[in-house]
Amino acid sequence: MANIIDGKAVSAQVKEDIRVETEKLKAQGIEIGLAVVIVGNDPASQVYVRNKEKACETVGFNSYKYALPEETTEQELLALVDKLNNDDKVDGILVQLPLPKHLDDKIIINNIRPDKDVDAFHPVNVGKIMIGDYSFLPCTPAGVMELIKSTGTEIAGKECVVIGRSNIVGKPQAMLLLHQSGTVTICHSKTKDLKAVTSRADILVAAVGRAKMITADYVKQGAVVIDVGMNRDENGKLCGDVDFESVKDKASYITPVPGGVGPMTIAMLMKNTLTAGKDHHGVK
Ligand code: NDP
């Protein structure tokens, strides 16, 4: 039976470190602020936004929520982004995705000031991640890296396989593993013989979006298995991309869903917001 990586515990520690640092900044008169913008009534997005507000409260940031109606125009949303870009109380701006269909995510993200883009989605920040010279961490992949670190596993020289090549998870994940000198392979829907590739992995990260697709026969004995997936199973229950029950007896470490990668994403968002705030106030 694998060791189960406790994402809740690791994320609680990350947030506690941020809370302590935020308290010290407050004592110097410095406050950190995160603006969260949500457009429309998507229930999943509302839960994510609530969780982000709660996390701000936990670490001691000011959070400013802007809930806009579904019919908000691009011009109106860009005007709000512009206002937040120029608001000194706001260190980080997060526009909750996906936006309603009539709004273009790319146009909105590209208008957030890169030094306030705490999701690290702006092309400037994406480029910085590529060259390994970044201040903002891509939240979910950075959370995965913290979880791997918590196992004490050395990444350098290891076979690392990432399943998924999205701009939000797969690609930046591969970059972070590469920066740590892993030998990295990225798989996707056109990969031939996925099992043969994933079975080589000492570290396997699944970011596919297909419930329980990765069964034990995709996994090398003793691998570290990180499950980014957030899916619903046939009973409507939250589950990952990894078939936990079959893989847990083959992996050395495995993340559960829920309670694995999910809590880390928000913790990393808090870390980026702290970084932005310190930068804006000239704190080293
Ligand atoms: P995308 O749908 O953008 O990307 C999925 C990737 O999986 C694509 O690259 C796709 O390949 C690949 N893929 C799909 N089917 C297969 C297959 N049969 N074999 C191999 N590869 C395949 O998803 P995201 O990256 O945004 O998210 C992935 C999962 O992670 C989702 O379940 C999402 O909910 C979850 N997630 C969780 C987060 C968290 O905080 N825990 C945060 C973000 C996402 P191709 O490019 O060829 O189409």
Reading the chain (284 residues) residue by residue, the pLDDT tens digits are 899 999 999 999 999 999 999 999 999 999 999 999 999 999 999 999 999 999 999 999 999 999 999 999 999 999 999 999 999 999 999 999 999 999 999 999 999 999 999 999 999 999 999 999 999 999 999 999 999 999 999 999 999 999 999 999 999 999 999 999 999 999 999 999 999 999 999 999 999 999 999 999 999 999 999 999 999 999 999 999 999 999 999 999 999 999 999 999 999 999 999 999 999 999 98
How far apart are alpha carbons 271 and 282 in whole angstroms?
16
Q: Annotated catalytic, 119?
A: yes
CA 239 to chain centre: 17
**Can you tell me whether residue 178 is helix, strand or coil?**
helix
**Can you tell me whether residue 63 is helix, strand or coil?**
strand
The response to whether residue 239 sits with its C-beta less than 6 Å from ligand 1 reads no
pTM of the model: 0.97
The response to whether residue 208 sits with its C-beta less than 6 Å from ligand 1 reads yes
DSSP letter, residue 91 = S
DSSP letter, residue 199 = T
Token readout for 273 is 């917001």
Q: How far is the CA of 168 from the centre of ligand 1 (A)?
A: 9
**Of 25, 28, 70, residue with least CA distance to 46:** 70
End-to-end CA distance of the chain: 43
How far apart are alpha carbons 149 and 155 in whole angstroms?
9
Which residues are 163's β-sheet partners?
A: 187, 206
Hey, what amino acid is at 132?
G
| Bridge-based pairing state of the strands 92-95 and 33-39 | parallel
The response to whether residue 113 sits with its C-beta less than 6 Å from ligand 1 reads no
DSSP letter, residue 255 = -
Q: How far is the CA of 52 from the centre of ligand 1 (A)?
A: 22
How far apart are alpha carbons 172 and 169 in whole angstroms?
6
Token readout for 106 is 């790319």
How far apart are alpha carbons 155 and 197 in whole angstroms?
18
Catalytic pick among 91, 115, 117, 119 = 119
Q: Annotated catalytic, 75?
A: no
Q: Annotated catalytic, 52?
A: yes
* pLDDT confidence of residue 284: 85
**Can you tell me whether residue 195 is helix, strand or coil?**
helix
**What are the pLDDT digits (tens) for 208-251?**
999 999 999 999 999 999 999 999 999 999 999 999 999 999 99
